Structure 1
Amino acid sequence: MKKTKVLHVCDSLDKGGLEEVIYNLVKNTNDQEFEASVACFKGGVVADRLKENGFICNEINEPKNIPRINKLKNYIKEGQFDLVQVHFSFEGILAAKLAGVKVIETTHNTYHFFENPWGRLKYSFYLNLVDSIVSVSKTVENFNFANFKVMNKKKAVVIRNSIDSERVSPTERPKEELKRELGLPENSFVISTLSRIDVQKGLEYFIEAAKMLNQKYDQLVFLIPGEGSQEYSQSLRSIAEGVENIRFIGHVSKVNELFKVIDIFAMTSLWEGAPLTLLEAMAYGKAVVVTDVGNTAEVIQDNVNGFLVEKKDVQAFVDRVTTLIDHPEKRLAIEHQAQQDFTEKFSNQIMISAYKQLYKSLIN
């Protein structure tokens, strides 16, 4: 049986949630029915990982728009792809349409840089070119309909993100050993974020909450993993200056070991689409306190499998963390429910099956 050839297209394939979703799809839709590969205009960490694992990732190194569109169009034609799934790349949409191939646009976020009329008009044009619009959450779909003119809303579908099983691999190393490696006291209670260092993540509010919690407890440690904007990172370090139990630990290669030492997972984002780290925390059975942005309210049932707070509401964040610290039995119940909900509602199998069904419907 001839396989359906699917090409994923994105501008950059370095680090981030969008990039991890692409890796997940390529890895888990390569089977007896589908052959998935990637084309991008700039490589990086995820591009390298794809190649290391034997998947095709073609980097189209053209600095200007028209040459890169033509090169990608030719690559689509020569590769005889049946379907192109674009992950927020205008050039990718144009190249696919010029190649005469059906195209899916995947919207991964509530893109706040579309605040000007020209930006909204431009993206509306591209959304009406494609054959299907996938939103990674209902919140993202609602954002699209509110901000862009989509003529045929029947081509819009919600497929919620999930995470590949390799991202949920609990370590057998003792928690005490891992704490020693991180330089954490053995009796410390660890509250951690996990994201790139970016204004979107609202980490200044995490730091302000840490300062307030330090007035109530003396065994806490606050971890800020990740890399990103140097300017924003420096501003955060200035805010945290003199607070020794706020640790900037940089890039974490073994996330499973980080989750082993975390007692509470925190996310103080100002906006999101469908954050993968929230799902990871749930899969590892962690109690979470997250801001009500993006799809978090679709994932977290407040006071059942986690806590939701309004963005920038530091006092509410502190109150929820206090509840989890002071009531271990409550924290244990939330941890159990979070892990159960991930398995039943947000497992990778659900996401992969939904995409395969979409591919079949478009080809047929």
Structure 2
Amino acid sequence: MEKIKILHIIKSLGRGGAEMLLPETLKIHNTTTFEFHYIYFLPWKNQMVSAIEQAGGKVTCFQAKNNLTLLMQYAKIAKYCKDNGIQIIHAHLPWAGVVARMAGKVAKLPVLYTEHNNFDKYHFLTRVLSAVTYKYQTKVLAVSEDAKEALERRRLFHDIVYVPNGVNTAFFSKESSFRKLNDVETFVGEDKVIGTVAVFRKQKRLDVFVEVARLAQQKNLPFKFLMVGEGTEMPLVKSLIAQYQLQNIYLAGLQESPADFMKYMDVFLITSDFEGLPVALLEAMSMEIVPFCTPVGGIPNVVKDNQNGVLLKSQETTEIVSQLEAKVLGEITNFGSLQKAARATIVADYSIQRMVHQLETIYTEVLHERK
């Protein structure tokens, strides 16, 4: 039987959450039924390429210097689809979504688009181009109820399905074997570790994260802070650490295996202004790291206050530190029960197997409806 050929289109293959899901889902997909192709545009953001190729995916870079030259690739993408017998285009993130819809219209192929964030939070031009091309797609897959509701309010599209992200719960487990990091172990000592794994963007409000560390240091609390990632906000983070002369933050930078660092974390702190459904959050919870998060995007779908984590009432650093003191250091809360409940939530509802099964069902239904 001929395989069903799916083309994923994404702006880059760096270490963002959406990008890292592509090789992880490919490892689980039924590759006797499906064949997966991948197109990306930023050649300097290629960290996921080898992982996808090792899992059997076919990766091509249509080089683009900016968003305008990215959109001009639509004819090449349409030709790629024709030459390779592509049957479904599946796009991720806004600019890739726009060019995928243009290519799909030319190639007369169904286009699926995964909405990873709240549409209302995008730049004005991004919203306009997305809205203009939205009619040229077949189905939208929203990773959170928040993302789904934002599209429904605007009445941009009628066929929107909730498909939450998933993680490999077998790998992201407290019981897994990870690298021993001697310098990290020396740094954290016997203290509790508050961590984050993220692309350092403005929306993440890492200035708040650093301010929490500053207040914890002022109060001489037994906390250490571990930051894993890289991005445009790194200069700000470094300048704040230097300005406050903080001794309790370890900047790990961009890492090939963030889980090696996550194993040292007790708390996963998210201070973002907005989110979709962070893959790193799901990975952390699967490793029994207790989430402390601002209640934005799809986070409240997963984190239930005082049941499997803590939903922060504000981004006020005094409030956050107070919560950390009470829940992590205080004897009133059974911190161990929060750890177990965090993993149980991911195993039950957010496994990569569940996500892949839902995607394959959608792919099959879309093709069946076109016949």
Shift of 1:49: 2.2
The structure 1 residue matched to 2:215, chosen from 182, 188, 212, is 212
Shift of 1:208: 1.3
Aligned length: 356
TM-score norm. by structure 1 comes to 0.90
Counterpart residue identity of residue 73, structure 2: R
On the 8 A contact 2:228/2:258 being kept in 1, the answer is: no
Are 2:305 and 1:302 equivalent residues in the alignment?
A: yes
On the 8 A contact 1:179/1:261 being kept in 2, the answer is: no
Are 2:347 and 1:346 equivalent residues in the alignment?
A: no
For residue 365 of structure 2, what is the aligned residue in structure 1? 361
On the 8 A contact 2:172/2:284 being kept in 1, the answer is: no
Mean Cα deviation higher: 192-201 or 323-332: 323-332
On the 8 A contact 1:167/1:280 being kept in 2, the answer is: no
Distance 1:66 1:290 in 2: 35
> Per-residue CA shift, 1:229-268, capped at 9, x if unaligned?
1xx3222222222111122221233323212211211111
For residue 4 of structure 1, what is the aligned residue in structure 2? 4
Q: How does 1:78-117 map to 2 (within 5 A)?
A: 78-88=83-93, 89=96, 90-111=98-119, 114=122, 116=124
Distance 1:210 1:100 in 2: 53
Shift of 1:104: 0.5
Give the secondary structure class of the aligned counterpart of 2:361.
helix
Going from structure 1 to structure 2, the CA distance change for 1:94 and 1:336 (only over 3 Å counts) comes to same
On the 8 A contact 1:178/1:261 being kept in 2, the answer is: no
> Per-residue CA shift, 1:156-184, capped at 9, x if unaligned?
1110001235752544469xx63545541
For residue 38 of structure 1, what is the aligned residue in structure 2? 38
Shift of 1:295: 0.5
5+ residue gaps, structure 2: none
Counterpart residue identity of residue 134, structure 1: L
Distance 2:184 2:206 in 1: 24
Shift of 1:332: 0.4
Distance 2:197 2:146 in 1: 22
Give the secondary structure class of the aligned counterpart of 1:211.
helix
For residue 261 of structure 1, what is the aligned residue in structure 2? 264
Shift of 1:185: 4.6
Distance 1:66 1:323 in 2: 50
Give the secondary structure class of the aligned counterpart of 2:11.
strand
Mean Cα deviation higher: 160-169 or 283-292: 160-169
The structure 2 residue matched to 1:142, chosen from 146, 149, 154, is 149
Counterpart residue identity of residue 86, structure 2: F
Distance 1:134 1:50 in 2: 22
Shift of 1:335: 0.2
Are 2:135 and 1:128 equivalent residues in the alignment?
A: yes
TM-score norm. by structure 2 comes to 0.89
On the 8 A contact 2:22/2:52 being kept in 1, the answer is: no
On the 8 A contact 2:169/2:286 being kept in 1, the answer is: no
Distance 2:258 2:251 in 1: 15
Q: How does 1:217-256 map to 2 (within 5 A)?
A: 217-229=220-232, 232-241=233-242, 242-256=245-259
Shift of 1:196: 1.6
For residue 167 of structure 2, what is the aligned residue in structure 1? 163
Give the secondary structure class of the aligned counterpart of 1:193.
strand
Distance 2:51 2:170 in 1: 13
Shift of 1:149: 3.8
Are 2:66 and 1:58 equivalent residues in the alignment?
A: no
Distance 1:246 1:66 in 2: 41
Shift of 1:37: 1.8
Distance 2:31 2:55 in 1: 15
For residue 291 of structure 2, what is the aligned residue in structure 1? 288
Off by >4 Å, runs of 4+ in structure 1:
179-182
Mean Cα deviation higher: 12-21 or 62-71: 62-71
Give the secondary structure class of the aligned counterpart of 1:222.
strand
On the 8 A contact 1:72/1:95 being kept in 2, the answer is: yes
Distance 1:346 1:250 in 2: 27
For residue 320 of structure 2, what is the aligned residue in structure 1? 317
On the 8 A contact 1:124/1:149 being kept in 2, the answer is: no
Going from structure 1 to structure 2, the CA distance change for 1:181 and 1:300 (only over 3 Å counts) comes to closer
Going from structure 1 to structure 2, the CA distance change for 1:299 and 1:19 (only over 3 Å counts) comes to same
Shift of 1:218: 4.1
The percentage of counterpart residues that share the same residue type is 23
Q: How does 1:169-188 map to 2 (within 5 A)?
A: 170-172=175-177, 178-181=181-184, 183-188=186-191
CA RMSD of aligned residues (A): 2.2
Distance 1:99 1:183 in 2: 57
For residue 277 of structure 1, what is the aligned residue in structure 2? 280
